[in-house]
Amino acid sequence: MHFLDMLRQAERLNDSLLCVGLDPDPERLPGAWQGDASRLFDFCAAIVDATRDLVIAYKPQIAYFAAHGAEAQLERLIGHIRRVAPRVPVILDAKRGDIGSTAEQYAKEAFVRYQADAVTLSPFMGFDSVEPYLRYPDKGAFLLCRTSNPGGSDLQNQRLADVDGQPRVYEHLARLAQGPWNTNGQLGLVVGATYPQEIERVRELAPTVPLLVPGVGAQGGDARATVRAGYRAEADGTPRGLVIVNSSRAVLYASGGADFAAAARAAAQATRDELNAARR
């Protein structure tokens, strides 16, 4: 199944725009697991089991596993998601950005080794850093466009003097993702929830691509403003371009006790309901 079809199916099945980010910090694991990197899988699997009917996607962040030599746990986790939530896509948050044979290896890492359905990419090196991922026709790729960190303005908000209309860098990326780069309908864009006006601008320039929006929850992004800025529906209610709203720490660390999974479910359900209220 094509990645976009998986997204739409999960959106309908779980009535959700919520993506749960799986960013497990050993120092924040609950109880006796605290500080024990061998428990990353156990922690994340419990979160998945508690939220699998509430989400449109899961987004494991590779650095939280690789930093602790826990790549095998990440492989096991994605396999677990496949078993317990087979209709929920997995977006590997890797932010890769290289060219040629190196990009080919990164694509193989994401889609063959980890069996992810999509991956996040940095497009700074241009289309030939993106194209190797598009050789996997059923997979997706989300390009960093207007990120939620304060330093994102250093480059993303600068104007391109040699491009017609002098668009900002993030606006130019949005046009490329909607147009010439999106050869098989596989591209999406990453736009931070801390900039709702710019989410709206990206949606204007890229009306059909899915937007992955981090920054809701611990980073202070407004869930309602995010949906209002980025979610659009046709007259029959079919989304023109999906909005995938990510929350990580607010869900993962809703409790530091033995009830962490139940607390994570409650936090995920509250966020899902808030997102749904905004779009309806």
Superfamily of domain 3-279: Aldolase class I (3.20.20.70)
DSSP string for 151-175: GGHHHHT-B-TTSTT--BHHHHHHH
Q: Quick check: is 95 catalytic? A: yes
Q: What was the pLDDT predicted at 239?
A: 60
Q: What was the pLDDT predicted at 150?
A: 81
The pair of three-digit structure tokens given for residue 244, joined into one six-digit string: 């995938």
Q: What was the pLDDT predicted at 221?
A: 66
pLDDT band at 40 (very low <50, low <70, confident <90, very high): very high
How large is the average pLDDT for residues 129-153?
94
Per-residue model confidence as pLDDT tens digits over 83-94:
999 999 999 999
E strand spans, the chain: 18-22, 57-60, 91-96, 118-121, 140-146, 187-191, 211-213, 232-233, 239-241, 243-247
- For residue 39, pLDDT over 70 is answered with yes
- For residue 98, pLDDT over 60 is answered with yes
> How, if at all, do strands 211-213 and 232-233 pair?
unpaired
- For residue 187, pLDDT over 70 is answered with yes
- For residue 156, pLDDT over 90 is answered with no
- For residue 111, pLDDT over 80 is answered with yes
pLDDT band at 133 (very low <50, low <70, confident <90, very high): very high
How large is the average pLDDT for residues 26-31?
97
How large is the average pLDDT for residues 65-75?
98
CA distance 48 to 192: 24
From the list 59, 95, 108, 139, the catalytic residue is 95
Per-residue model confidence as pLDDT tens digits over 196-243:
889 999 999 999 999 999 977 555 567 788 888 888 877 666 667 899
Q: What was the pLDDT predicted at 220?
A: 56
Q: CA angle, corner 200, sides to 199 and 206, nearest 5?
A: 85
How large is the average pLDDT for residues 150-156?
85
Q: What is the mean pLDDT of the chain?
A: 93
How large is the average pLDDT for residues 123-132?
96
- For residue 101, pLDDT over 80 is answered with yes
CA distance 60 to 93: 6
Rounded to whole angstroms, what are the CA distances from 277 to 51, 58, 152? Answer: 19, 21, 30
